[in-house]
Amino acid sequence: MGDLTGTARYRTAPTPPAALPVRDPLGASWRLIGWLGVLARYDALSPREITGQLPGWARPLAWVLHLFARREGRVGRPGQRLAHAFEHLGPVAIKLGQVMATRADIFGAEFATDLGRLKDRLEPFPTAEARAEVARSLGRPLDSLFTDFGDPIGAASLAQAHPAWLADGRKVAVKVLRPGVERRVAKGLDSMRLAARLADRFVPLSRRLEPRAFVETIARALQLELDMRLEAAAASELKDIMDADLAGGSGHMSAPAVVWEGVGKRVLTLEWAVGMAMTDPAAADQPGLDRNALADNIVRAFLGQALDHGTFHADLHEGNLFARAPAEVVAVDFGIIGRLGPSERRYLAEILWGFLSRDYDRIARVHFEAGYVPPHHSVEAFAQALRAVGEPVIGKQASQVSMGRLLGQLFEITALFDMHLRPELILLQKTMVSVEGVARRLNPDHDLWAAAQPVVERWIRRELGPQAQVREAVDEVVAALKALSQWAQRPPEPAQVVVQPVTSPWIVAGVTLAVVTGTGALVLSLWQAML
């Protein structure tokens, strides 16, 4: 399987993205105050459920905030109320909630689950506006490309989708950005940057979570989603990856093809996805559908993309997945794509394999080698903490695991060992949480570890096994021969040594004194030897 005991060669963990300045501090401040008002309305600023746990000085303030809660803030769990507030606040807040849902180790399992079901569904804008936007973005009349253009079938905070038909009879899905959404996103990000700056300065406990880097990661993802040409490129890239895996016998997911003549800055056209949307309750009850196999395929598709290619679909929730019996799964909506370098891929594989093989010492060393745990901590102590987390989980069904207790323990460990949020892994964590949630809603007793094992084993065998070691040795020899060949073809110019005459009288005097002294010592020693 490969030797995991040797020293892994990791680069230092990448620096977090640079925080951009707040462009309009006054406007951002007013919007932030408005956000706080909406959160207070939903009793999401200081939920009543935690008032009794607050310090004595903070409880009166919490009681005052509760007075602003309206009817919608008096029902449901805190996570549900916060999700509703984020839906009200728009695309930036929705994206923030979706990312927060990945941090169950911080916010708790139930809270993260409630946020993970955050609905990105809004009222659609008129079809006439969509038709005009498509024509304007493509620079051609709508009828020159589509024989029919239907009403929206889904509307999110950033865009909405329409069914349409090409001249050759193919059914396609046309995704159109909302009017003015770019301006709204820019204003929302400005307010979030202000909030992150305030938290970083005045709330020391928040600094471990890297709030400013956290916001910039969200901003980067949103900006990529606002250019449909980039999403089209991502869709094409992932389709090539999925098709190659399917052809090689290791694929578990497919994707619709891009219709490039229907792609513009604010418009994306894809072939119609086969199967039933997994948001449809009837999708899981299709005749002949194998729920467990479907869950396995979703998990293995994600891991295969991340480990084998370093490029993965980073928004794998039910709204972006279609299912068809017996266990076929099709992914859509490629606005968020995650990328991992060789170091992060090896880090992920070894962590997963370490848990699968219960090699907690190896997991601990990988964390230290990758720079995710500060070096002043003990590797052995960290391995001990990981064992306390892993042993209750490995080999057990999901229904037998108290995820709330487990994740609470994980948060305590990350705080104990000064582990900071790693922005480059946010999308990976977000997708892992989404994939696990989808799999367990298909089958509550789904074993995530058993599903992951074949993919991880394949990666370990290929990248760390004997063949990989031979391949690495051959690559090193070839690199050395190339360097030698280049040296032979272009040998370095011989160095020219130029002797400058000594002109300083002090140097001349020093050298003369040294010579005279040495000669005198030599003569004296010979004279003593003759006597």
Strand residues in 145-275 grouped as ranges (E) = 146-149, 154-155, 159-166, 171-177, 267-271
**How far is C-alpha 518 from the chain's CA centre?**
72
Question: Per-residue DSSP letters for 306-374?
Answer: IIIISEEES--SGGGEEEETTTEEEE---S-EEE--HHHHHHHHHHHHHHHTT-HHHHHHHHHHTTSS-
8 Å CB contact between 336 and 226:
no
8 Å CB contact between 431 and 314:
yes
Q: What angle do CA 160, 336, 418 make, to 5 degrees?
A: 135
Q: Which of 314, 167, 289, 164 is nearest to 238 (CA)?
A: 314
Residue 203 burial (CB count, 10 A): 11
Q: Identify the active-site residue in 105, 315, 333, 447.
A: 315
8 Å CB contact between 172 and 271:
yes
* ω into 326 cis (within 30 of 0): yes
144: left (phi over 0), alpha (psi -120 to 50) or beta: alpha
Between CA 181 and CA 528 the distance in angstroms is: 100
Between CA 380 and CA 364 the distance in angstroms is: 8
Whether 315 is catalytic is: yes
Catalytically annotated residues:
315
